[in-house]
Chains A and B, each alone.
Chain A
Amino acid sequence: MNARTRLSSRNWFGKASAGLALGFGLAVAVSGLFAWFGPGGLLAGTGKTQFNMWLISPVWVATLSLCFLFPSSRSAWYGLGLANLAAFGLLAAGRWLLA
């Protein structure tokens, strides 16, 4: 982050909508990574299925909280978009390796 950019709450809408939409995508991807590659693997019983679902909540809330640290709305959409690509890419690559 550029230290000369003064952060403010003025451009909250663009950042928050990125946090809401792409934060949800990121949370689903992280839960998917844990579902496939977390301890126990994909079929570890319905307890793990539920645990995987619960993971979405903290990741989504954390992203929605931290998205305001992006200097601009555009950088929030780019940054979180890249994070989504990386997370879903990892998920696809991991599943391809397992298959």
Chain B
Amino acid sequence: MRTDIVRMYRHIHSWIGVACGLALFIAFYAGALTMFEIPLQRWATPPSALPSPPPLSATQALLDATLAARPEIASAYYVNVATGPETPARVSWLKEARRSRDDDGPIVEFGAALAPDGQWVSARLEAAPVTGLIDRLHQQVGLPLPHEAAMVVTGGIALLYGVALFSGFVTILPTVLRDLFALRLGDSVKRLWLDVHNALGVVSLPFHLVMALSVVVFAFHDGFYATQDAVVYEGDLQQQWAQGRPPHPESDPAAALLTPDELVDRVVAQAPGFAPTRLEYSTDAGGRVSARVLGADPRYALRGPTFGIAAVDPYDGRLLQTDYLPGHQPVYAAIVSNFFALHFGNYGGNPIRWAYFMLGLTGALVFYTGNLLWIESRRKFAKRDSPLPAQTRSARALGSLTVGVALGCVAGISASLAATKWLPGRVHDVTTWHEGIYYAVFLAAVTWAILRGPARASFELLWAAALATALIAISSLVAALVPGLGGWNWGGTTLVVDGVALAGALLFAYLARRTRRRVLGAPHDSIWAADR
């Protein structure tokens, strides 16, 4: 490999890294947490005011009562096959929550149940908004912008990230075999960070390529389709989509619908292994009902983040379209579902989810160590018998930003999660409070890092991250010990959330101790030395 090419790509790699590394850190850290969105949502959701849901086989009475009480929801309503703390209602629907007469509020879900005395009751479902915050931070690389604007930034970063992967690969190509798993602990700090960065980067390169290429699509698909429609399809694209819509049920609209449990049985008979989680009904102007079945099958790639979809005839249970039904998709649709699944990590069940969780965290570490390397390679070393050289302003600034943004993101997410069990019932707008807590902690951390300098802020903010993360588990403990405060615990797998928080807190505390020792003993010609 020509040395000038390697040097050129090394420059490109390091400048893209400095420009995008921190945004990617936020995307990867928050993204790792979204791998357990459903358990996290269960952990975070307060107990519902609704009576407990009827068994699926006894849903028809509730459905009839609901459609009699709320005839306007016939156009779109759900039967939840899988219920639990995060989905407490068997029958639910979406509604725009208006805060005032002129203001369109956010879309919220309502659910219905029958009280023991047979009376119909409905209530707004308080699905916890904190997982939505984490998902938004993940998608928008932490930027509090309108979604469309933020996705342009995310897409641009994904393009640069793709180039960074290629250029990083070229950079280490000449020495890849010799250096790959070498961890030269003794030589120098720079060598050590370089070895860690390279080993993690090379081992997880396929994962990173998947992320970069899929995010370019997620961010720009509307523009891609519009361009293709103009220059490739001659304006035929809408027609192609129309032809891909599921066919309408052929049954007589006056015929009786199957009950939800009959419908589920017929779907599973046609697609064994598919586990339905939700039935989505809609009624057209002529009174004809259509249905979609959402569900998962861990043997296959899923098109949605946690589900695949089948269109089904609600009158006789026949599958009408299997384009998004795992294991029954046409070839091209199956390939595309694989692209989505490789991003979401929704194939193979929990082992793959844990693997993606770890890959996401190590990905964040790759960006973190990349910044440390950039700083270390600009270090001015002290020469014997000369005055101590000043470190560059840019190295100190990047050091502060790296510590403040990365640890601010960690501490902010933890703080927002720790507040989950204490906001409902105490504040009016829970969603805004979660966002406010995150950004308050995040901005405080960045400000702190700039004011205190990278050396001291590095261990102080690690302590802050440890404390905020410990508060997640402590808040569950308080909810268990003092039931009068209104907190809750669901037990079961949600205990893993508290366990992971505790492990994270201990890890951050350990790192804080080690970092403090390193800062106090650091050579004076480094931005990581305190007291300057």
Contact = CB atoms under 8 A, between A and B. Distances in A.
B216 A60 contact: yes
Interface of A: 6-9, 12, 20, 28-29, 31-32, 35-36, 40, 42-54, 56-58, 60-62, 64-66, 68-69, 88, 91
A65 B240 contact: no
A35 B231 CA distance: 12
B147 interface: no
Interface residues of B, number: 42
Q: Please provide the 5 A-B residue pairs with the shortest distance between their CB atoms, ordered closest to farther.
A: A47-B333, A46-B244, A47-B332, A61-B162, A32-B232
Given A7-B4, A46-B323, A61-B216, A32 B231 contact: yes
Given A28-B232, A53-B217, A47 B5 contact: no
B361 interface: no
B228 A65 contact: no
Nearest to B221: A53
B247 to A, nearest CB: 14
Contacts of B7: 8-9
Contact of A6 (B4, B167, B227, B339): B4
Contacts of B217: 53-54, 56-57
B163 interface: yes
A25 B120 CA distance: 59
A58 B9 CA distance: 19
Interface of B: 2, 4-5, 7-9, 11-12, 15, 159, 162-163, 166-167, 212-214, 216-217, 221, 224-225, 227-228, 231-233, 237, 240-241, 243-244, 323, 329-336, 339
Question: Which residue among B214, B243, B332, B336 has the maximum number of chain A CB atoms within 10 Å of its CB?
Answer: B332
Given A44-B332, A47-B330, A68 B8 contact: yes
A56 B4 contact: no
Contacts of A49: 237, 240-241, 244
| Residue with the highest number of chain A CB atoms closer than 10 Å, among B4, B224, B243 | B224
B213 A8 contact: no
Contacts, number: 110
Nearest to B15: A9
A17 B174 CA distance: 28
A28 B7 CA distance: 31
A47 B329 contact: yes
A50 B224 CA distance: 10
A8 B8 contact: yes
Contacts of B339: 54
A64 B16 CA distance: 13
A32 B335 CA distance: 18
A36 B236 CA distance: 13
Contacts of B240: 43, 46, 49
5 contacts: A7-B2, A7-B4, A7-B8, A57-B214, A65-B162
A91 B232 CA distance: 9
B11 A9 contact: yes
Contacts of B243: 43, 46
Contacts of B232: 28, 31-32, 35-36, 52, 91
B228 A9 contact: no
Contacts of B166: 61-62, 65-66
Contact of A28 (B212, B213, B216, B231): B231
Contacts of A43: 240, 243
A6 B5 CA distance: 8
Contacts of A65: 162-163, 166-167
A57 B9 CA distance: 21
Given A40-B332, A49-B244, 5 more contacts: A29-B231, A35-B232, A46-B333, A47-B329, A47-B331
Nearest to B225: A53
A45 B159 contact: no
A50 B330 contact: no
Contacts of B11: 8-9
Contacts of A31: 228, 232
For B2, B212, B240, the residue with the greatest tally of chain A CB atoms inside 10 Å of its CB is B240
B517 to A, nearest CB: 38
B333 A9 contact: no
Nearest to B160: A64
B213 A61 contact: yes
B213 A57 contact: yes
A69 B213 CA distance: 21
B332 A58 contact: no
The listed residue with most B CB atoms (<10 A of its CB), out of A46, A57, A69, A91, is A57
A35 B334 contact: no
